[in-house]
Structure 1
Amino acid sequence: MSSKILAERYEVHRQLGKQTGRQTLLARDLQTQELVVIKQLFLGSDFEWQDLKLFEREAETLKALDRPAIPRYLDYLEIDEPDSKGFALVQTYVEGKNLEDHVRSGRTFSESEVKELAKSLLEILIYLHQQDPPVIHRDIKPSNILLHSRSGHSVGQVYLVDFGSVQNQAAKFGGTITVVGTYGYMAPEQFGGRSVPASDLYGLGATLIYLVTGLHPTELSQQDLKIQFCDRVTYLNSNLIYWLEWMTEPSLEKRLSSAGEALLSLKNPRPIHKSPMVVQPPPGSDIKLTKNSEFIEIVIPPKGIDFGLMAQLSAAVAASNISFIERNFFTATLKIDDQFFIIISASFLCVVGIKFIFAVFRERRLRIDRQQISYSSHLLGLRWNNSKAAPRPDICQLEIEEIKSLMPDKRPELYKVSQMIIQTGNQKYRLGVKQGLSESEIEWLATELSQWLGVKIKRTWTE
């Protein structure tokens, strides 16, 4: 069976891909004997003019680009055959396997390989974004990145392909909003039809997260649109994890703004990542809060002695003195009831004494890092857990609960108790008046935790 010949020049070998109204073919140029890729757009019942605009824009963009890591424009054809009518874009064939196929076949990528990939792709993006007008790919994902000629510990030659979603500043469709890209790899602003160079950075960051987790971004949990992947990549250096978080920051204002900046920050991580920062507490507070991108730790100092504890201590000492007098001066006439009183008073003094030591010397520490949340007590060199540690990804809610106490009709603002609750599955971590925290301290800690975790504060009122 003879092969199909397009434009009396391109001999079709096989189909590489097919979508509604489109197909991609592998062919041989009979003039040069080189393999080429032919992308076809058909004028069928489902044809839309918007598709043709994107198709023509891809051709014009490739014609203006000249970089080995990007397919080169070769030809543009009009197809006018009895069984098909449309257009065809001919470009150089890039031999290689895309990243998605690599992961599906079981290949894993080391930290050094991920960095090498990131640097190569950022250099391509720097080239694209420096064009006049800037070229924004808008569909960076694993299946659009090819690897070829892998050797030793190197990932080989890196190629960025499929410019079918490309945008430049000169291409505008009036008031029409054009949403293109692939869900999971699209930056949030692209859903509103807006694309900027930083949008490509988001796609690259999400692609690298796919490589290190083996999971599509939509298969990973999210908090306030942030991809939660840290618990699945324990082998990565914290600098690289922080950089990936920065690349996939949902907020355009907080994300890395350019490929050049992203490359520089990858080579020279920001110092803030290594140095914990002590946050200034509210006036009059002795709480110490330390945080960086790796952890946040709250140290609550000893509660101190209040009037109630002083009253208990005074009563216990008085009872103990009475028992001492009876034991030393009235031993001969000591009755069973007196012995019982002595035992009770001694026990009372012991209990109050322990409470006194706890109030003066015990500090509490709540710590959340990339792996877990823990809440422990520290007393004179001893340490024990107040609650069982839980995985950080299990944190699902941050709540400030106000509990109305007795006598609500008499100045209710004086009869309410606040506490902060961190919910992890079925477990709750509570910080409040029992730990000696004031209302302002609870608000401050909740705000800091909310910002660090990316979790909104839920407020409840309980009577």
Structure 2
Amino acid sequence: MIRWLEQLVEPSLEHRFSSATAARSALQRLSEVSIPATLREPPYGSRLRVQETAQGVVVQVPPIGFNISLLFLIPFAVAWNGFLVVWYTLALSAGNWFMAIFATGHLAVGLGLIGTIFYILFGSQVLAITPTEVRFHQHILGLRWQRSKVLPVAAIEQVEVQPKGFYRNRDGEREQVTAKMIIRAGTQTIELEEAQSHLTPQDLEWLGYGIGRYLACRVIKTP
């Protein structure tokens, strides 16, 4: 895409596209480029799934599934929401609206716990990459969990790969950072994090360099 834009605005007429038709044909060929080798096969044992489509490439992080954290989270959510059921039953039967409104914050926490459990069991993250945009969204059983993030490819400046490790902050204190992969376009970013996605640092590094190669943009390591 970058090379196509550079040829489109090339100062020398000899190196520009000869016509609008030639430029359009080159862009169509660019959109039909297959997935580069760096994005075809994730690291062995990776949770990432890569699929080539007519529009581009789709990278999916499948559901985390049942894990040991749910052994604590499910009983806690049952106890929390069970208490709320009793609370609201008493409040509504007594016509005490102040009592009902008072527990609104606790109700939000209870619903959040239920949503978190469903997301762990059935939630997926999807990164769809086309020649014109990069789109990221999360869904549970096909239903959008959060609003999609969309970055135009033309605005993407770089892909950042942050390895996991210990670093010195500005105050000289030692702190641990988790592995991340960041696609940056001005002040807007799309991020995949080790803890949130349950991906390994190797997965995120592979994905960052693969996306950089696919979009023909630079990849840097931070911090």
Given the two structures, how large is their TM-score scaled by the length of structure 2?
0.67
Aligned to 1:211, what secondary structure does the other structure show?
A: coil
Q: 1:79-118, aligned counterparts within 5 Å?
A: none
* Pair 1:336–1:438, CA change in 2 (3 A): same
In 2: Cα distance, 1:371 partner to 1:422 partner: 14
For the pair 1:428 / 2:189, whether they are aligned, the reply is: yes
Which residue identity is paired with 1:290?
Answer: Q
Contact 2:36 2:214 in 1 (8 A): no
The answer to which structure, 1 or 2, has the higher relative contact order (CA under 8 A, 6+ apart) is: 2
Counterpart check, 1:377 vs 2:138: yes
Q: Are residues 338 and 447 of structure 1, via their aligned partners in 2, closer, same or farther at CA, if it must alter by over 3 Å?
A: same
Shift of 1:422: 0.9
Indicate whether 1:236 and 2:21 are aligned. no
Aligned match for 2:48, one of 287, 291, 294: 287
The correspondence for 1:448, drawn from 196, 210, 220, is 210
RMSD: 4.4
Kept in 2, the 8 Å contact 1:364–1:376? The answer is yes
CA–CA distance in 1 between the matches of 2:140 and 2:69? 22
Give a deviation string over 1:155-198, Cα, whole Å, max 9, x none: xxxxxxxxxxxxxxxxxxxxxxxxxxxx969xxxxxxxxxxxxx
Indicate the residue corresponding to 1:95 in structure 2: none
Q: Tell me how far apart the structure 2 counterparts of residues 367 and 418 of structure 1 sit (CA, whole Å).
A: 21
Sort the Cα spacing of 1:319 and 1:378 in 2 relative to 1 into closer, same or farther, 3 A. closer
Find the counterpart in structure 1 of residue 17 from structure 2.
Answer: 210
**1:444 partner amino acid:** W
CA contact (8 A) 2:35 2:214 kept: no
| Structure 1 Cα separation of the partners of residues 126 and 134 of structure 2 | 11
Residues paired across the two proteins, number: 204
Q: Report the Cα distance in structure 1 between the residues aligned to 2:212 and 2:115, rounded to whole angstroms.
A: 35
SS at match of 2:148: strand
- Aligned-pair CA distance for 1:378: 2.8
Pair 1:352-2:140 in alignment: no
What amino acid sits opposite 1:437 in the alignment? Answer: L
Amino acid in the other structure paired with 1:448? G
Q: Who is 1:458 aligned against?
A: 220
Question: How far apart in 1 are the matches of 2:69 and 2:75?
Answer: 10
Runs (5+) with no aligned partner, structure 1: 1-182, 186-205, 215-231, 243-271
Stretches of structure 2 that go unaligned for 5 or more consecutive residues are 1-10
**TM-score, normalised with respect to structure 1:** 0.36
- Select the structure that is richer in helix: 2
For 1:379 and 1:340, the matched residues in 2 are separated by: 29
The 1:457/1:318 distance shift into structure 2, 3 A limit, reads same
Larger Rg, first or second structure (1 or 2): 1
- Give me the whole-angstrom Cα distance separating, in 2, the residues matched to 1:343 and 1:240: 55
Structure 2 letter corresponding to 1:236:
S
Give the Å deviation of 1:353. Answer: 0.5
Shift of residue 275 of structure 1?
8.8
Whole-Å separation in 2 of the counterparts to 1:432 and 1:426: 18
Return the alpha-carbon distance in structure 1 between the equivalents of residues 153 and 84 of structure 2: 52
Shift of 1:421: 0.9
